[in-house]
Amino acid sequence: MPTRGTPTRDGKVEEPDERRCRLCLEGEGDGPLLQLCACRGSAKLVHRHCLEKWRRTSPKEDAAYRCGQCKDHYRDALSLELLRARLQTERADGEGTVFTLNTLASELQAQGKYDEAEPLNREALEVRRETLGDRHPDTLASINNLGVLLKVKGKLAAAEPLYREALEVSRETLGDRHPDTLTFIANLGGLLMAKGDLAAAEPLCREALEGRRETLGNRHPHMFTSINNLGGLLLAKGDLAAAEPLLREAVEGLRATLGSGHPDTLASIGNLRRLLVRSGAGSTHTSIASCSRRSPSLISVMAALFACSAIVCMYVFCTSFDE
């Protein structure tokens, strides 16, 4: 990127605060400058047409659907268009399709197109069972992916045997503390929570959290999702005293690691807000002053929670995360 004293293509010297597209290095004369990914600083602005050209022509495999710098997914119609075209070409040429099948299915699922994603997930799983066998880590990942999709679609009974198969084989082949195994433990716990079987879900949620604290440390996003899951479970059981510190830790950690607008952060905020309402701290009849006396940091937490209330209402109470 140009820096102070560096001539640009038109011979001008760019000042540090001058707004320019990170791809063509031109300003707003060529169109609005937009932030279309999570990049920061001088790399965050781009012309939409420049980015589209880059995504269509770049030799990089992931350019079609995510930023090459920050790895943020675009989650847009162009991602689907380019991935569909790639899959069609791979099929016609007789090339391997599993990577594109999984990527396109993931994009469709992220954009709420569950019915279109399901046959792709099933095809990817079938291919991996045939080529890699039932116990290969990639096969287990495909089993998990299909289970996650079915759970999102509300097909809990169909998702459960997939989750259990992935977890059982992963424990046997990878061990109890492997990251994939911990993901499958967390996902099965979340599924059982969704079914209302809190007694069966709790030991799994605790195991996932304990394993992630040991293997990932205390600042990894996956560790915070496990904290949220256990906090949400305890909240559903009515154990507000045990749930509150966990949900506070989850909100603070997810904000710090993923940002305030990330879906996981918003879901965690939803859990904490509901807890505060149930405990009386979030009631409209409770004054801000009394909230602040209850906890030194509660006043700022409450302000943020109610500011987010219009967004949080989209998320299910006691939300747990699938991975």
Question: What count of other Cβ atoms lies within 10 Å of the Cβ of residue 90?
Answer: 16
| CATH 3.30.40.10 at 20-73, yes or no | yes
Domain ranges of the chain: 20-73, 218-323
Task: Supply φ then ψ for residue 173, to 5 degrees.
Answer: -100, -30
Tens of pLDDT along 192-251?
999 999 999 999 999 999 999 999 999 999 999 999 999 999 999 999 999 999 999 999
3-state secondary structure of 13: strand
3-state secondary structure of 17: coil
Provide the pLDDT for residue 13: 47
Provide the pLDDT for residue 317: 34
Provide the pLDDT for residue 250: 96
Under 8 Å between Cβ of 251 and 265? yes
Gap between the Cα atoms of 72 and 62, Å rounded: 11
Residues whose CB is less than 8 angstroms from the CB of residue 152 and which lie 6 or more positions away in sequence, other chains included = 109, 114, 322
**Residue with token string 């990127």:** 1
**Residue with token string 């950690």:** 253
What is the full per-residue pLDDT of the chain (323 aa) written as tens digits? 444 444 444 454 444 457 999 999 999 999 999 999 989 888 999 999 999 999 999 999 999 999 999 999 999 999 999 999 999 999 999 999 999 999 999 999 999 999 999 999 999 999 999 999 999 999 999 999 999 999 999 999 999 999 999 999 999 999 999 999 999 999 999 999 999 999 999 999 999 999 999 999 999 999 999 999 999 999 999 999 999 999 999 999 999 998 888 888 999 999 999 999 998 865 443 433 444 344 444 444 444 444 443 333 323 334 455 66
258 phi-psi bin (left φ>0, alpha ψ -120 to 50, beta other):
alpha
DSSP for 135-196, written as a single string: TSHHHHHHHHHHHHHHHHTT-HHHHHHHHHHHHHHHHHHH-TTSHHHHHHHHHHHHHHHHHT
Question: H helices within 9-135, ranges in order?
Answer: 48-57, 77-93, 98-110, 114-132
| Helices 263-279/298-307 angle, 10° precision | 120
Under 8 Å between Cβ of 316 and 228? no
Under 8 Å between Cβ of 128 and 139? yes
Provide the pLDDT for residue 64: 96
CA distances 320 to 25, 108, 168, 317, Å, are: 43, 21, 21, 9
